[in-house]
Every structure is written in C-alpha cells, then in structure tokens.
Amino acid sequence: MTIIYKFKGDISSDALKELEKHSNISLDTEGSGLQIPHRDRLSLIQLSSGNNDAYIIQPSQQYQCPNIVKILENEKITKIGHYLRYDVLNLQYFLKCQVKNIWDSKICSKLVRTYSQNHGLKDLVQEFCGKKLDKRLGSSDWNKNLNELTDAQLQYCSNDVIYLHKIKDALHKMLVRENRLELYENCIQFLKTRIKLDQSGFTEDIFQH
C-alpha cells in the first residue's frame, strides 16, 4: 500500500526535512490541460522519496510553495520524472523557480529501449516493475478541492511517482551498457533550452529540414 500525504498550498516543514534526506525524488504534475501556461494551469504536484510514499500537493491560486521550491532548486537532489518537458515548464512558470538536477525516464527510454516503439510511463512500469497502470483517470478534474478527490484519483496520481526510482535504476544500467550515457546527458542539458523554446512558442523541431 502506498502511503499518501496530502497538502494544501505547500508541503510542511517536517515533510521538507524528510524529503531532503533523499538524493532522488520523483515528481509529476497534473494540470487542467496540456496548454501550459496560456490556457491551462498547474493543479497538483506529486513527489515521492521512492519508499512507496506519495506527497500530493494542491497549490493555492497564488502558487506560493517555498518548501517545494527548496527541493526543486536543490542541486544535490535528483528530480526524476517522465517527460519533464511538460512538468518542468509547468513548475518553473507557476512556482517562479528553476528546477535543477533532473533525470528524465522518457528521454532515457528512447535512447536505450530501441527495441520498442512504446515509451509511455505505463510501458516502463510494465517492463521494469511488472505492474499494469490504469491510466483511465488521467483526464480528471484536478482543480476540484483536494478533499473531494476520490481514493482512486489519489492512487492514480501517486502511481505516476512511486515507480520512477526503480525505472531510473534499470534504465541507467542500460544507458551504461549501451554506451549512451554521454549522449543522454547532452540531451538532458538541451532540455532546458527545449523548454525555453516551448515557452517562446517554438513548439516544432527546430532541427528539422
């Protein structure tokens, strides 16, 4: 069973102290849609230390989350996510911060799992954790009051963070084995620029002919 901690506004200072003990924290965000920031907004932030726990935070409309920002900006804590191109833009725009030290399982999967066409989180959870993720609740109204979210919805958004540590370990080993660690690191380096391009409206692939 996943231990779920719910927070309104920001994580508590006790939760911050607990999370700061870990060198890897997984993260995910839910928004009201995919058009961040012009149409849609950040609804929920999920964090996990990797010990089958999920911290689910519903920020206020003012987005004042100094404790979460401390984790995001901490160079010593690796933030693991899947398709961080979306989540980092979401967090940096609404929380007005810089997300430092990131690790992306989707980019990594595309570089090493060349035997597959499927690089969704669902596919990675299946392959490395032997679990079937139910993604049906993905299109939920995450802006409704945190206390009104159902157990199924809370479990759904926890599932997006609790498996990422294990996936990172497995994919990292594959990156080393396939000799693509440097290539991966260069891609992650470029992700910051990719996000700036998205934010400036250059959503197409600028390298394409």
Spell out the residues 6+ positions from residue 131 whose beta carbon is closer than 8 angstroms to its own. 125, 163
Interface residue with Mn ion among 10, 53, 104, 160 (CB under 5 A) is: 160
The residues in 48-67 that bind Mn ion, with binding defined as CB under 5 A, are: none
Cis bond before residue 59 (omega within 30° of 0): no
28 binds Mn ion (CB under 5 A): yes
Q: How far is the CB of 33 from Mn ion (least distance, A)?
A: 13
Segment contacting Mn ion by CB under 5 A, of 22-30, 33-41, 105-113, 182-190? 22-30
Spell out the residues 6+ positions from residue 21 whose beta carbon is closer than 8 angstroms to its own. 49
Q: How far is the CB of 60 from Mn ion (least distance, A)?
A: 20
State the angle between helix axes of 164-177 and 121-129 in degrees (0 to 180), rounded to the nearest 10: 80
Q: What are phi and psi of 37, to 5 degrees?
A: -105, 0
Q: How far is the CB of 105 from Mn ion (least distance, A)?
A: 13
Tell me the site size for Mn ion, rule CB under 5 A. 2
Which is nearer to Mn ion, 121 or 175 (by Cβ)? 121
What is the helix (H) or strand (E) element at residue 152, kind and residue range?
Answer: helix 151-162
* Closest residue to Mn ion using C-beta atoms: 160
Q: How far is the CB of 159 from Mn ion (least distance, A)?
A: 8
Q: Give the sign of the dihedral formed by CA 115, CA 121, CA 124, CA 126.
A: negative
Q: What are phi and psi of 53, to 5 degrees?
A: -115, 155
Which is nearer to Mn ion, 125 or 175 (by Cβ)? 125
Which is nearer to Mn ion, 26 or 92 (by Cβ)? 26
Q: How far is the CB of 29 from Mn ion (least distance, A)?
A: 7
CA 134 to chain centre: 17
Q: Which residues in this chain contact Mn ion in the complex, by CB under 5 A?
A: 28, 160
